[in-house]
Chains A and B, each alone.
Chain A
Amino acid sequence: MATATEVKKRTVRINGCVASAQAAKYADVDVIAAYPIRPYTATMMALAQMVANGELDAEYIVADSEHSQLSISHGASSSGARVFTGSSGVGVQFAYELYSPISGSRMPVQMMIADRTLDPPGDFGSEHTDALSTRDMGWLMGWACDAQEAFDNHLMAYRIGEDPRVLLPQMVCQDGFFVSHITSDVELPDSGQVKEFLPPYKHPYPLDPRHPVSHGPQIMPEQGPPLQLERARAMEGAAAVIEQVHDEFAKIFGRRYDPWVEEYMTDDADVVFFLQGGHAVTARFAIQHMRDNGLKVGMVRLRTIRPYPTERVNEVLSKFKVVGVIETNMGLGSVSSGGVLYGEVCAALYESQHKPLVLSFMAGMGGEAIVLNEFYWMAKKMTEAQKRGKIEKRTHWVGFEE
């Protein structure tokens, strides 16, 4: 086992997009399918330069659309190549047809997402609706909150998705701009560490003329359910692999992540924010400030949403009196008439003996920053609910109410 003293690590100051590109390079990907859309484009720009410089030996394909990006990735992964692709916003949606075929054929394609608000109109800001709209398509999915975590998540996702017990594609998400375009220190590992952590991709049944197989033949209706069940079991079974891989990652790279949730100042908290992604960084500052003023507030950040850690969310959130779900996504006409996270949280809490009150906050919409004052405002709404012991209003559009 390599130790930190034996290896050549270096720390660089890069943004989330470049961190993702670096991860793809360390993973020695074979095929890259690119198509421009802001903000994820910078990842593909960085990879194009790496290929041009001879730092990475890969087929770099400038696709004709996101639909083609994902189809190229599907074909390349089916042939036995390690594949990297990515998109943002409406680009994620343009490729929608391919998400089920890729997970259904059990091809561990990796897709980087730097979130962007969906149209209308053309809004560049980060909102998680793009990736979240594909959440039930059989892809492993989770959000990073900074560039280092994005880098680490890419490596872990390849390892998890390519595991023969899993064989599922992965969406490795980060907020557009807040993570994708803000630079921070990222520790790049020694390539020996990555070699030790990530074995070469080997699909059991690739398209190889020496061992002919047929992928995706037409089936009868009664032949569908067993395949769907297998895919469901793969997603369920991924949980154990995810935990194992996070453990091994910590041993080799020295950074330990809880695979499911990050808890911040939750030990004695009464009210907590529940969120995904980059706004967690601001939330930590806001919580520190509120703690100085005596408020028992904390944060639970969801790191992996697919597979969804139902038991863990139940166990963690049952400790608190009020949970404020910060959505950063649109769930028009959904359970809460707010975002889609609320339903996921409440369903996980349904069998809890100590149900907290749950509020849904529509904040960070359209890619707006959630500023400190808005965190304070949300905490106030949560403590008011705590005092009353009931919810008066389930969903709040932050910034549109007193």
Chain B
Amino acid sequence: MPGIEVERQILPILGSPNQGARFYNPDLPASEPFVPGHRTCAGCGPSIQYRMTSKAAGDNTILVGPTGCMYVANSSYLCTPYNVPWAHTQIGSAGSFTAGVAAAYEAMIRKGKWKGAFPNIICEAGDGSASDIGLASISGALYRNHDCLIICYDNEQYANTGIQASSRTPYGGMTTFSPPGPMVPEAKTLFPKDLARMMAAGHPHCYVATASVGYPIDLMNKVRKGLNHKGAAYLMIYTPCQKGFVYETPRSIDLGRLVVECGLYPIWEWNPDKREYDYSFRPQNMRPVSEYLKLQGRFGHLHAEHIAKLQTFANQQWKMMGIELPEALIQAADAKNLVNMATASAAEAVAQTL
């Protein structure tokens, strides 16, 4: 159907995340679509991510907020932190509501009912929405290739409802739905759903990437790449939750780096043109998982065998990215070489920081 041609925005890429400009870049836009005044917890990973994401997107943006922390804690009535249009939608409607917004703008611009460049349409879904109840709706939006960016802000649990296990909760993670006890000493017995790879494999025409609040410039550039990609894009972003992970509030960004350095949160991009993964992102260090685990109360109950299991999992992640494992990390995957979390410093001595 011939109509008015839809103009798309192209946002510039900031610096290079792997070459120095990792945490600061003078080209950061001054605009703040996500302003202070919300009620999130001190050190909230998802809201740090929200600020970076919306900053990278700029003002010609529409935000969609399925039910979750970033809905409930952000938008108190008559006190909304959004300087751009924002709409709540149901927790299972993440992809579908967003698709509706995108479709509306396609049609309205084409039919001359709205004039201007196609807005950035960003959905901020928590991992409960993204990996469980809204999974099909997001898959639908990606499959149909609506011009939008769907973000899973991954705090590895349903936090807003009081810390319950989601499909993204890691093995060994304590939540109120996966508490440790004599019969289940490790708490969560299942490993997390490999959500981002699932989205890349199932929707290879989409730009898909993982990111972490530990690497803000990389995160913002991925937001911009996702928005510049004509069609659907998907980001899964590590966003620690102080309330659920139980850690010292100022350490959110530290955790965002440690989780990557310990191999528990591989950072990669899926290139939809080449149809291949890009594993060129390298953290500065590789560390044993115990260094990440010991900072968080949710792993405080783990025994040596559980930590070894998590190390095995991390080692598999490194291998998947084609990275050779140092001997110390192979050693750390054997429970005999570990002791329990109460003496995590001893575990550190076994598998030293590399």
Contacts and interface: CB of A to CB of B under 8 A. Distances in A.
Interface of A: 30-31, 33, 51, 54, 57-59, 61-65, 67-69, 71-81, 83, 97-98, 101, 105, 200, 207-220, 223
A172 B61 CA distance: 34
B77 A79 contact: no
A327 to B, nearest CB: 32
A105 to B, nearest CB: 8
A69 B95 CA distance: 11
Contacts of B169: none
Contact of A68 (B72, B106, B108, B137): B137
A51 B88 CA distance: 30
A81 B90 contact: no
Contact of A78 (B59, B82, B87, B95): B87
B106 A215 contact: no
B166 interface: no
A216 B72 CA distance: 10
Contacts of A218: 71-72, 75-77, 88
Contacts of A64: 96, 136-137, 139-140, 143
B97 A71 contact: yes
18 contacts: A31-B100, A51-B1, A62-B144, A67-B92, A71-B93, A72-B96, A75-B93, A75-B96, A76-B104, A79-B100, A83-B104, A97-B90, A207-B86, A209-B62, A212-B86, A214-B87, A218-B88, A223-B77
A78 B100 contact: yes
B87 A216 contact: yes
A80 B61 CA distance: 15
Interface in B91-142: 92-93, 95-101, 103-108, 110-111, 113-114, 116, 119, 136-137, 139-140
Interface residues of B, number: 49
B77 A75 contact: no
Contacts of B100: 31, 33, 61, 71-79, 81, 83
A340 B296 CA distance: 55
Nearest to A98: B90
A208 B108 CA distance: 12
B142 to A, nearest CB: 11
B249 interface: no
A31 B77 contact: no
Contacts of A105: 87
A276 to B, nearest CB: 30
Interface of B: 1, 3, 59-62, 64, 71-72, 75-77, 80, 82-90, 92-93, 95-101, 103-108, 110-111, 113-114, 116, 119, 136-137, 139-140, 143-144
Given A31-B103, A73-B100, A79-B105, A57 B137 contact: no
Q: Which of A58, A98, A215, A217 has the most CB of B within 10 A?
A: A217
A57 B3 CA distance: 9
B87 A215 contact: yes
Majority secondary structure, A binding face: mixed
Contacts of A80: 104, 108, 113-114
Nearest to A210: B116
A309 B59 CA distance: 47
B76 A75 contact: no
Nearest to A214: B80
A122 B60 CA distance: 48
Contacts of A59: 103-104, 106-107
A217 B88 contact: yes
A54 B84 CA distance: 35
Contacts of B119: 209
Nearest to A62: B144
A207 B108 CA distance: 13
Given A73-B100, A97-B92, A61 B107 contact: no
A58 B60 CA distance: 23
A184 to B, nearest CB: 31
B113 A75 contact: no
Contacts of B64: 75
Contacts of B106: 59
Contact of B77 (A78, A97, A220): A220
A219 B92 CA distance: 20
A70 B3 CA distance: 26
B1 A76 contact: no
B82 A214 contact: yes
A51 B3 CA distance: 13
B144 A61 contact: yes
Residue in A58, A215, A218 whose Cβ sees the most chain B Cβ within 10 Å: A218
A62 B143 CA distance: 11
A74 B99 CA distance: 10
B206 to A, nearest CB: 15
A30 B111 contact: yes
A73 B116 CA distance: 22
